[in-house]
Amino acid sequence: MTDTVHEEAEVEEVAGVAVAATAQTAKHVLIGIDLGTCRTVIMSDQGKKALVRSVAGYAKDIISKGVVGDAPLFGDEAVAKRNFLDLCYPLADGVIREASERDYLAASQLLEHVVAMVRENEDVEVSGIIGVPARASMMNKELLLGIAQNIMKKALVVSEPFMVAYFLGKLCDCIVVDIGGGTIDICAMKGELPSAEDQVTIFKAGDYIDERLAGAISRRHPTAQVTKSVACKIKEAHAFVGEPVSPVRVTLRAEGKPMEFDVTRELRMVCESIVPDIVEQLQMLIQRFDPEVQEITLQNIILAGGGSRINGLDTMIAEHLREYGRIKVTCVDDPDYIGAGGALKLAKDVPAEQWKHVGVMFGGQ
């Protein structure tokens, strides 16, 4: 994953959301934000969008300050200069770590940074919708709104998988499974705003796979040097479940030298380790639908989030639910931008005066 920013503007669609193709500077900009554990994505109604790794870096000492300056660095730039920086990943399991002031500051500076990336200039007012994990606590939503209050005029927080469903226009008879870095959020869509019982959060997602993969490869090949970040790169390049199409051989350092290792078995095992929980929660949620719509809902299971790129995951989930009848599991086309796209679409469709009926907000009348 690399940070990306798409400048300006005379476009009519950003990831499927129609936007104003205006050359004039807007006074008020609407935005959609997906604040994720791994990456923060923002889109504006002026056609700008950006994706930044959710990390802030602060100069370690006076010497580092001379190299990187006083201001915090964000995303890939922070990771690239990590030797000079203390890195802070402010979102754990998709929510701001409540106890830590440092995380609070980093989350707030990260939000300010991404908003600045799409804001035309300082005078422009920004309002928008921010996605949070399905079961984020009220305290965390309020914490986030507190941060947003310094940066935005009006802000609303809504659940992430709901934004995916909203983007797809699938508000009814559908289940969204958003497989992120910190959490897997599953949300049953029944034609109204999902209630707490319609949403589940599983705390075993991409980060969990990386950790387990690093451990599994180290056990199988004790000479290989595998950090969590190396494991993450292997996963992002080769992740799969089910029968391997071809062996996964990767080059790792062993005693300082590059060597090739076969990691097929380990990669398959760790990727498959998230399947039972997903299936169990789907089975639980499906029973809560009206029996008359269960059949159609089972053909409307949507996988989103970076983890939806695991090869074969859709097929494997469908196979596990075979006894329930005809099943269709589909992966979204653009897992990176769909959440922010849904938030922007919602912000544009629903007048800000009505946002209070959709979630927790500030700035409403």
Q: How far is the CB of 350 from ligand ATP (least distance, A)?
A: 23
Q: What's the burial of 189, exposed, middle or buried (CB within 10 Å: 0-12/13-18/19+)?
A: buried
- Residue number with the smallest Cβ distance to Mg ion: 180
59 vs 106, beta carbon nearer ligand ATP = 106
Shortest separation between residue 250's beta carbon and ligand ATP, angstroms: 14
Nearer to ligand ATP, 21 or 237 (CB): 237
Which residue lies nearer to ligand ATP by CB, 128 or 154?
Answer: 128
Query: Could you give the CA distance from residue 310 to residue 76 in angstroms, rounded to a whole number?
Result: 23
Q: How many CB atoms lie within 10 A of CB 137?
A: 12
Does residue number 307 form part of the binding site for Mg ion (CB under 5 A)? no
Concatenate the DSSP letters of all residues of 347-358 into one string: HHHS-GGGGGGT
Number of residues engaging ligand ATP in binding (CB under 6 A): 23
Considering beta carbons, is residue 113 or 154 the nearer one to ligand ATP?
113
* Region binding Mg ion by CB under 5 A among candidate stretches 118-126, 174-182, 251-259, 262-270: 174-182
Find where tokens 């199409």 sit. Answer: 245
Distance CA 44, CA 343 (A): 10
Which range binds ligand ATP by CB under 6 A, 106-114, 178-186, 257-265, 356-364?
178-186
Query: What SS3 class is residue 266?
Result: helix
Binders of Mg ion among 10-49, rule CB under 5 A? 36
310 binds ligand ATP (CB under 6 A): yes
DSSP bridge partners of 325: none
8 Å CB contact between 312 and 318: no
Contact 193, 162 (CB under 8 A): yes
Q: Can residue 206 be called a binding residue for Mg ion (CB under 5 A)?
A: no
Q: Which residue is nearest to ligand ATP (CB)?
A: 206
Q: How far is CA 251 from the centre of its chain?
A: 29
Question: For residues 175 and 352, which CB has a smaller minimum distance to ligand ATP in the complex?
Answer: 175
Q: Provide the token pair at 67.
A: 């190299």
Q: What are the φ/ψ torsions at residue 353 (nearest 5 degrees)?
A: -65, -25
Rounded-to-integer distance, Cα 111 and Cα 12, Å? 25
Asked if residue 312 lies in contact with residue 304, where contact means CB atoms within 8 angstroms, the answer is: no
Q: Does 37 bind ligand ATP (CB under 6 A)?
A: yes
Minimum CB distance to ligand ATP smaller for 43 or for 352 = 43
**Cα dihedral sign for 132, 134, 139, 141?**
positive
224 binds, among ligand ATP, Mg ion, none (CB under 5 to 8 A by kind): none
Applying CB under 6 A, does 232 fall inside the site for ligand ATP? yes
Give the binding site for Mg ion (CB under 5 A): 36, 180
Give the binding site for ligand ATP (CB under 6 A): 36-39, 94, 160, 180-183, 205-207, 232, 235-236, 239, 305-307, 309-310, 335
